[in-house]
Amino acid sequence: MIKEVAFIAIAVSDKERARKFYQETLELKPGMTAMEGAWVEYDLGAVTIGVGCHPAWQPSRDGTSVAFEVEDFDAAVAKLKERGVTFDLDKTETPVCWMAQFRDPDGNKLLVHKRKTA
């Protein structure tokens, strides 16, 4: 019945602040934009991240999480820290990956993630 993930949506309260964070801090490139900039899609490989601002859809600190795969885990964490990002969960190792959790300006949980090689 379900064949793939169409997109992952992240609710935000301020479209300009969100665009600045996702495009400048995280260096994501915007793709399709709709609703006068209140919905922006960022294509990352086979996955699309949709960032949207609407009164009927509010962000939550306990809502959606997105893990961003990076080439160099330590360099990505260091760059984000230089840009003022604080981490709720510092570098954590699992049997298959390393990850660290931070939040966007609305408190949505995001992660820097690096898979271990097989």
Closest CA to 50 of 70, 65, 33: 33
63-101: b or e for each residue (b if 16 or more CB lie within 10 Å)? eeebebebeebeebbebbeeeebebeeeeeeeeeebbbb
* Mean pLDDT (whole number) for 96-106: 93
pTM (global) more than 0.85: no
Most confident segment among 33-37, 45-49, 75-79: 75-79
| pLDDT tens-digit series, residues 22-32 | 999 999 999 98
Range of the domain at 111: 8-115
Would 36 be classed as within a structural domain? Answer: yes
In the chain, how many domains are there?
A: 1
| pLDDT tens-digit series, residues 70-95 | 999 999 999 999 999 999 999 999 88
- Rounded CA-CA distance 37/110 in Å is 22
Residue 83 sits in a domain of what CATH number?
Answer: 3.10.180.10
Would 103 be classed as within a structural domain? Answer: yes
Would 3 be classed as within a structural domain? Answer: no
118 band by pLDDT with thresholds 50, 70 and 90: low
What pLDDT score was predicted for residue 6?
A: 72
